[in-house]
Amino acid sequence: MKLTDFKALTFDCYGTLIDWETGILSGLRLLVEKADITPTRDQILEIFAQNESAQEVETPAMPYSQLLSMVYKRIARTWGVAATNEEANSFGTSIPDWPEFSDSVGALQYLKKHYKLVILSNVDRISFRASNTRLQVAFDAVYTAQDIESYKPSPRNFEYMLRRLREDFALEKTDVLHTAQSLFHDHVPANRFGLASAWIDRRHAETGWGATQRPPGTPTYDFRFDSMAALVEAHQKELLG
């Protein structure tokens, strides 16, 4: 199997193209300062992951910016900290401030010349619009949790994506390489659907699972890269033969 075998790359956005862990930590700074504890970076991300996943299961049709506000309040309750609606809503609307990874723009601009580029993200349309501006590329399609009314790793999201790719672009499953950081949200369901995948292991220098839950079982993947830049380099080497 080679990267050049595929016609489309489908991307998770947050954690893969956008540095959501930096954004999450920045958005939770006030809450951490209020807490009567001194959690580590990984502990903050872990409690976020637990509460985000639980909230997504409870309210699958809730737009992500609103869901983040609920997550903020859940974390505040866990830490025994008072949180105002204004503070929670500020966290919910912080997605446009989350930075892109330094290699995302250049990698996407290169890959656009060779593939259809598609987003499958646990986000709402308005929030993604701001992130898309940061990424500086015109995606061929954007499928969000808001469109599907469920959150990954639900199979509904992948069913929706594969159906739309078939209907809109005549792309079959074998034409698609799902490209993502999260083993929990993306590679586990990709395995379930028999979808080829590339793991962008942004946390290769870190321990733990960061802002995602531990994946069940042992997910597999067809390619692994530390960064989007490394994926591009591998593609270029394939073209040179």
The predicted-structure confidence for 16-28, as pLDDT tens digits, reads as follows 999 999 999 999 9
Q: What is the mean pLDDT of the chain?
A: 95
Spot the catalytic one: 5, 12, 186, 201: 12
Determine whether 42 is an active site residue.
no
Residue with tokens 């960064």: 227
Instruction: Indicate if the pLDDT at residue 146 is higher than 90.
Output: yes
Question: Which of 97, 130, 148 is the C-terminal boundary of a domain?
Answer: 97
In this structure, what CATH number is given to the domain that contains residue 187?
A: 3.40.50.1000
Examine the domain organization and report whether 117 and 77 are in the same domain: no
Examine the domain organization and report whether 105 and 189 are in the same domain: yes
Question: The tokens of 108 are what?
Answer: 């996407």
CA-CA distance, 233 to 92, in Å (whole number)? 36
Task: Give the DSSP letter of residue 212.
Answer: S
Residue 39: give the domain boundaries.
20-97
pLDDT in tens, 164-210: 999 999 999 999 999 999 999 999 999 999 999 999 999 998 888 99
Number of domains composing the chain:
2
Examine the domain organization and report whether 42 and 156 are in the same domain: no
Examine the domain organization and report whether 150 and 229 are in the same domain: yes
The residue type at 241? G
CA-CA distance, 53 to 63, in Å (whole number)? 14
Examine the domain organization and report whether 39 and 57 are in the same domain: yes
**What is the model's pLDDT at position 70?**
97
Examine the domain organization and report whether 14 and 124 are in the same domain: yes
Query: Does this model's pTM top 0.85?
Result: yes
